[in-house]
Amino acid sequence: MLKKIPVDIGNYITGFVDGEGSFNVSIKKRLDYKESWKLTASFNISQKDRVILAWIKHILGCGTLRERKDGVVYYEVTNITSLHDVVVPFFRTYGFRSAYKKNNFRIFSEIVSIMYSGKHNTKEEFQKVLELREKLNPGIGRKRKYTLSNVVTSEESSETIRKTVSNQ
């Protein structure tokens, strides 16, 4: 649950995240999953300054810190309950200023809500999450490994194979 945070601290963190943070949803191919895809929602900030990230982690009371070999430190929250109960309410309380981050946060919040409820385990809601994910972080310049069309095509192929095998 979100604890009471002084307004100046909440506004500072939100401003910092507005410039340096990101909201993401990754998808990984997993043969050991029922639908063979694993979705992971994440909020993260990367910096060389571990102190500020450790302080934000302390204020929010969730997440992890990791350090890359090049000295960049990541503060990341991937636990869906922490995202739903802490991160989303925090940024709803201390709103973003930039239109870009407001839009990403709105999309991310919707995805977190679907995943928290477990509805993303249905074919329709899984596809909705993928469609929302396509709108997340527009114009960042990096190519996604798996796009909506990759996943849908893969799922249709798997379903065709299952039906063909079971009909023989």
pLDDT at residue 120, rounded to an integer: 86
pLDDT at residue 57, rounded to an integer: 97
Band (pLDDT 50/70/90 cuts) for residue 38 is confident
Q: What's the residue count for the chain?
A: 168
Candidate from 25-34, 92-101, 128-137 with smallest mean pLDDT: 25-34
Give me the mean pLDDT over the 74-92 stretch: 97
pLDDT at residue 81, rounded to an integer: 97
List of residues 6+ apart from 81 with CB closer than 8 A = 116
**Res. 7: pLDDT tops 60:** yes
pTM of the prediction? Answer: 0.80
Q: Which two tokens stand for residue 45?
A: 């900030």
Are 9 and 21 a contacting pair, CB within 8 Å?
Answer: no
Question: Of all residues in the chain, what percent are helix, strand and coil, respectively (each to 5)?
Answer: 55, 15, 25
How high is the mean pLDDT of the chain? 83
pLDDT at residue 151, rounded to an integer: 56
Band (pLDDT 50/70/90 cuts) for residue 156 is very low
**Res. 92: pLDDT tops 50:** yes
Query: Percent of the chain scored above 90 by pLDDT?
Result: 61
**Res. 21: pLDDT tops 90:** yes
Are 21 and 45 a contacting pair, CB within 8 Å?
Answer: yes
**Res. 61: pLDDT tops 80:** yes
> In the chain, what are the domains?
7-167 (3.10.28.10)
List of residues 6+ apart from 155 with CB closer than 8 A = 35, 36, 37, 123
Query: Tens of pLDDT along 141-153?
Result: 445 444 545 555 4
Nearest to 59 by CA among 41, 80, 89, 86: 86
Q: Which residues pair with 76 in a beta bridge?
A: 44, 64
